[in-house]
Amino acid sequence: MGEQTFGFILLILGAVCGGSFGLPSKFVRKETPWETLWGPFFLFVTVLLPVVTFPLIAKGLFATCAKAGIGVIIMPVVFGFLWGLGSMFLGMSFAFIGLSLAYAINYGAQIAAGGMGPLIIHHPDQLATPHGCTITAGVLICIIGVVVCGRAAILKSRAQQDGGGETMPTGPRLIKGLVVAFVSGIFCACYGIAFSYGGGVMEISMKEFGNPGWRAAFAVSALILWGGAVSACGYCCFKFTTNKSWHTLRAPGIGRVLAIALIMALLHDGAILLFGVGASNLGPLGVAVGYAAFMSFAIIVGNVNGFLTGEWQGAGRRSLAWIVAGIIVLVAGVSVLAKGNFMQGRTAAEQAARE
């Protein structure tokens, strides 16, 4: 098996994990408070799994962070805090509008904001270049895809209400769910922005501890996740306190809830690991092509899971047609964005060669 083929297989497996980590939440009893599931999930994702597993991947992880100092690590941590807010909102949107719509809208907004954010922050002068225009076009297509998916949600809600089988909110509550999903995508995009500030950490990890690039990236990922722990876990603690639901963590059946939270966390962090290893095996096209393949398939997997769990039962043909169209538009937007990323990388390589 070729190295690139192996890389693509890992990317697809990572996309399956990324598009499925919310699926186990469907098997938690409806009367279980939101924070009883998502609190342990965020604790596993942002604290326990990174502390236990990331040092095995990136040698000298803690020493790297200490050597980098507060001035170098602060931006990944701050934007990680914002990413934590986005992940928290995504968990809320699953409860509001289901897996299919939440994944489609979140990923669409995440791709759009993640595509433009680093370019605007670090290279605003490149917006008018061919690759800048291509990236902008990809972002605009993704935004159109989000709008199309939102239209599908409205049609779905109406059809299910008319058919007496309403399974999702209507009216203001539906709009609230769509807004929460969209905002979650904007904040989740801060993961990529946080990573764009991680060059100093990666340099120390590679030069001082001999990690290859993809391993060194996990030192940055750890900082982002720890920043996210403050916001996501902090909000869950707030919910436990205001809802007076701390007792649910020792109620009968909590073992099953914790097991589901752990499975969700393993899928979530597994997606990060598989994407990092997979993209590193694709050579020069790793970031551009790998990102497109990963995000496109994750969107599709998330929606397939939604269909399989009956979210679209009684939704009607029109809403189904709109959600399929939305997915197609989002995949097209990701592909255009990937083309822009590739053009940007090629331009940078040519400039470096001339210098």
pLDDT at 345: 66
- Report phi then psi at 243, rounded to 5: -90, -5
Give the closest residue to 60 by CA, choosing from 272, 208, 214, 213.
208
Decide which of 49 and 5 is more confident. Answer: 49
Grade residue 244 by pLDDT with cuts at 50, 70 and 90: very high
Decide which of 343 and 179 is more confident. Answer: 179
The least confident of 17-21, 35-39, 104-108, 206-210 is: 104-108
Cβ neighbours of 4 (radius 10 Å): 15
Q: Report percent pLDDT > 70 for the chain.
A: 87
Instruction: Write out pLDDT tens, residues 110-137.
Output: 877 776 776 677 678 777 788 788 878 8
C-alpha pair distances (Å), 106 with each of 67, 102, 206: 35, 6, 33
pLDDT at 335: 80
Give the range with max mean pLDDT: 14-23, 45-54, 148-157.
45-54
Grade residue 187 by pLDDT with cuts at 50, 70 and 90: very high
Helix ranges (DSSP H) in 163-253: 171-188, 190-196, 199-209, 213-242
Grade residue 159 by pLDDT with cuts at 50, 70 and 90: confident
The least confident of 8-22, 159-173, 200-214 is: 159-173
pLDDT at 166: 47
Instruction: Write out pLDDT tens, residues 277-297.
Output: 776 666 555 555 566 677 777
Helix ranges (DSSP H) in the chain: 3-18, 34-43, 49-57, 61-68, 70-122, 130-162, 171-188, 190-196, 199-209, 213-242, 254-280, 286-308, 317-354
Instruction: Write out pLDDT tens, residues 262-282.
Output: 999 999 989 888 877 776 666
What tokens were used for 304?
């397939």
* Dihedral in degrees, nearest 10, Cα atoms 202, 206, 212, 216: -30
What tokens were used for 352?
């470096």
* Euclidean distance between CA atoms 267 and 23, whole angstroms: 10
* Euclidean distance between CA atoms 63 and 72, whole angstroms: 14
Decide which of 294 and 175 is more confident. Answer: 175
Instruction: For residue 318, give every residue at least 6 positions away whose Cβ sits within 8 Å of its Cβ, in sequence order, or none.
Output: 155, 159
Q: Compute the average pLDDT of residues 31-46.
A: 94
In order, the DSSP letters of 241-279 are HHTT-GGGGGSTTHHHHHHHHHHHHHHHHHHHHHHHHHH
* Euclidean distance between CA atoms 53 and 94, whole angstroms: 27
| Annotated domain spans of the chain | 3-354
- Which residue reads 């994944």 in tokens? 103
Grade residue 344 by pLDDT with cuts at 50, 70 and 90: low
Instruction: Write out pLDDT tens, residues 63-103.
Output: 999 999 999 999 999 999 999 999 999 888 888 887 777 88
Residue 162, pLDDT above cutoff 70: no
Give the closest residue to 334 by CA, choosing from 152, 141, 51, 124.
141
Terminal CA-to-CA distance of the chain, rounded, Å?
37
Mean pLDDT score across all residues of the chain: 84
Residue 16, pLDDT above cutoff 70: yes
Q: Compute the average pLDDT of residues 292-303.
A: 78
Sign of CA dihedral 37, 87, 238, 78: positive
What tokens were used for 25?
């939440």
pTM of the model: 0.81
C-alpha pair distances (Å), 122 with each of 91, 126, 196: 30, 9, 9
- Contacts of 125-128 with C-beta under 8 Å, sequence gap 24+, read 126/344
